[in-house]
Amino acid sequence: MTTTLITGANKGLGRETARQLVAAGHTVYIGSRDAGRGRLAAEELGARTVVLDVTDDASVEAAARAIEADGGLDVLINNAGVEGRGAENEVVGAADVTADMMRRTFETNVFGTVRVTHAFLPLLRRSAAPVVVNLSSGLASLARVTDPGTPTHAYPGVAYPASKTAVNMITVQYAKAFPDIRINAVEPGYTKTDLNGNTGVQTVEQGAAIIVRMALLGPDGPTGGFFSAEGPLPW
Ligand code: NAP
Average pLDDT (26-38) is: 98
CATH code at position 25? 3.40.50.720
Around ligand 1, the residues with Cβ closer than 6 Å are 7-8, 10-14, 33-34, 52-55, 79-82, 108, 112, 135, 137, 187-188, 190-191, 193-196, 200
Average pLDDT (144-158) is: 96
The SS3 of residue 156 is coil
Asked if pLDDT for residue 36 goes beyond 90, the answer is: yes
- Other beta carbons less than 10 A from residue 192's beta carbon: 17
Torsion of CA 35, 37, 42, 45, to 10 degrees: -170
Catalytic annotation present for 160: yes
**Tally of structural domains, the chain:** 1
Encode pLDDT of 37-63 as tens digits.
999 999 999 999 999 999 999 999 999
| pTM for this predicted structure | 0.98
Cβ–Cβ < 8 Å for 9, 79: yes
- Other beta carbons less than 10 A from residue 122's beta carbon: 12
Catalytic annotation present for 190: no
Catalytic residue among 11, 29, 155, 164: 164
Q: Where in the sequence is the domain holding 82, given as residue range(s)? A: 3-232
For residue 140, what is the DSSP state? G
Encode pLDDT of 154-205 as tens digits.
999 999 999 999 999 999 999 999 999 999 999 999 999 999 989 999 999 9
Residue 87: its pLDDT value, please? 85
